[in-house]
Amino acid sequence: MLYIAEEKKKLGNDQYKAQNYQNALKLYTDAISLCPDSAAYYGNRAACYMMLLNFNRALTDARHAIRIDPGFEKAYVRVAKCCLALGDIIGTEQAVKMVNELNSQSTAVAGEQTAVQKLRQLEATIQTNYDTKAYRNVVFYLDSALKLAPACLKYRLLKAECLAFLGRCDEALDIAVGVMKLDTTSADAIYVRGLCLYYTDNLEKGILHFERALTLDPDHYKSKQMRSKCKQLKEMKENGNMLFKSGRYREAHVIYTDALKIDEHNKDINSKLLYNRALVNTRIGNLREAVADCNRVLELNSQYLKALLLRARCYNDLEKFEESVADYETALQLEKTPEIKRLLREAKFALKKSKRKDYYKILGIGRNATDDEIKKAYRKKALVHHPDRHANSSAEERKEEELKFKEVGEAYAILSDARKKTRYDSGQDIEEQEQADFDPNQMFRSFFQFNGGGRNNSFNFEF
């Protein structure tokens, strides 16, 4: 039996040297089954497992070899290397200590001794940054730690968790799935999957994953926290939507505002909550607040089309026509639909209209003013700005009042003429020639003569 076992070991060594590690593994296993009390056979198979990056099994074999032969230096070296790869700082330090005790001249674990010191420092730095929620820094330092301990599942899953916090859920999910292939009962991996679902607004599935993690580990604190947060957000989001649909806008505003305080890192859900609050703000007349909410949505997600369209509409209602046009143009780049094209045309038309003189504003009347209201407004404004009233003013003031007097006359000339008023209201340009030939003084004399404001074609200004 021993002879056959030795032959198997030698053949295994040949395969190992040829880098045929799977073949070597089988031959070492055959040797162990023939001679289970050989520390060397377990040591060889441990080395083979290490080459296959199966550090857990390698560690088991190396420790078994030590139980058979407590003075087996190479086995301690392999324990040190495996523990380091797995991120077991204490295990690495203990193995390094044993190697040095067995052979004070050994340099076999000098690299591990240096690496484990660095790893301990990295862990402290990682914890400090994690506690302060500096997740980008955590990922950076974890990458350094994983170079020293590439098989450490704890580091991988902590990195995945931080990636999820940073919104990089696809990367986080890849890591979690990779870990679950190695360990299907990993509560931490299932927690990370739940976290990814939560941060992509799959609250129902997220809750199920957190509950599954708690089934595997009833004391899994992070899953308890996230399950509670998930349920709270789901409930508040649904309540806010119900209040909005029933027209209870101010109550909905309060709910959405409170929901936004739950998790600042959940960009997907927060962008939807902000959009919903923006809608609520439009319903209660808070247009500027609605714009502010849309701004925050677009900071979180520049492709959020609904928020872009809502902001464009708010800008239009606030008479910020250039901003409205800009938003509709951006929206059209995201989605070329007939509806957005129509909205863009209307916004451009509103912008064009806004650059004309606002005759209603000049007369101080609303757009639905009656003919009588237009006449009264003209009479009042014309008397205020008539040049005779400002004869003793400075040259600059007289010039300004003359301009206002002319504009008041222009406004009345357009708005008192049904045809011109219709064209003006529809956004059509009034011919420049008509305005160029306009005489405000003649308009003034005609108005007051026709409306009983003068006598014998003369007018005496009364103050």
Question: At residue 303, does pLDDT exceed 60?
Answer: yes
**CA 446 to each of CA 247, 251, 410: distance values in angstroms, whole numbers, following the listed order:** 54, 58, 14
Distance CA 228, CA 39 (A): 51
Averaged pLDDT of the chain: 91
Distance CA 80, CA 86 (A): 10
Q: Name the one residue in this structure whose structure tokens are 């007349």.
A: 285
What percentage of residues in the chain have a pLDDT greater than 70?
92
The pLDDT assigned to 281 comes to 97
> Do 103 and 136 meet the contact criterion of CB atoms below 8 Å apart?
no
The pLDDT assigned to 445 comes to 65
**CA 274 to each of CA 237, 246, 312, 348, 362: distance values in angstroms, whole numbers, following the listed order:** 11, 19, 16, 27, 38
The pLDDT assigned to 446 comes to 65
Q: Which of 309-313, 360-364, 424-428 has the lowest mean pLDDT?
A: 424-428
**CA 283 to each of CA 14, 259, 274, 324: distance values in angstroms, whole numbers, following the listed order:** 80, 19, 14, 19
pLDDT digits (tens, 9 = 90+) for 175-186: 999 999 999 999
The pLDDT assigned to 111 comes to 95
Structure token pair of residue 299? 């900071």
Structure token pair of residue 27? 């031959």
Distance CA 230, CA 387 (A): 71
The pLDDT assigned to 454 comes to 44
pTM of the model: 0.74
Handedness of CA 230, 234, 237, 240 (dihedral sign): negative
pLDDT digits (tens, 9 = 90+) for 202-254: 999 999 999 999 999 999 999 999 999 999 999 999 999 999 999 999 999 99
The pLDDT assigned to 357 comes to 83
Of 105, 108, 98, which is closest to residue 72 (Cα–Cα)?
Answer: 98
Domain boundaries in the chain? 37-117, 147-231, 237-354, 359-450
The structural architecture, per CATH, of the domain 359-450 is Orthogonal Bundle (1.10)
pLDDT digits (tens, 9 = 90+) for 411-455: 888 888 889 888 888 777 655 434 545 666 766 666 666 555 444
Q: For 389, which DSSP code?
A: G
pLDDT digits (tens, 9 = 90+) for 275-287: 999 999 999 999 9
The pLDDT assigned to 425 comes to 81
Distance CA 45, CA 124 (A): 35
What lies within 8 Å, CB to CB, of 241 at 6+ separation is 252, 276
The pLDDT assigned to 392 comes to 83
Average pLDDT over residues 87-103: 96
The structural architecture, per CATH, of the domain 237-354 is Alpha Horseshoe (1.25)
pLDDT digits (tens, 9 = 90+) for 105-158: 899 999 999 999 999 999 999 999 999 999 999 999 999 999 999 999 999 999
Q: Please indicate whether residue 444 or residue 288 has the higher confidence score (pLDDT).
A: 288
Distance CA 95, CA 103 (A): 12
Homologous superfamily in CATH for domain 37-117: Tetratricopeptide repeat domain (1.25.40.10)
The pLDDT assigned to 273 comes to 96
> Do 366 and 360 meet the contact criterion of CB atoms below 8 Å apart?
yes
Of 184, 229, 178, which is closest to residue 206 (Cα–Cα)?
Answer: 229
Q: Is 458 helix (H, G, I), strand (E, B) or coil?
A: strand
Please name the fold of domain 147-231: 1.25.40
The pLDDT assigned to 462 comes to 35
The pLDDT assigned to 448 comes to 65
The pLDDT assigned to 451 comes to 59
Task: Tell me if domain 237-354 and domain 359-450 are identical in fold.
Answer: no
What percentage of residues in the chain have a pLDDT greater than 90?
74
Q: Which of 30-34, 63-67, 389-393 has the lowest mean pLDDT?
A: 389-393
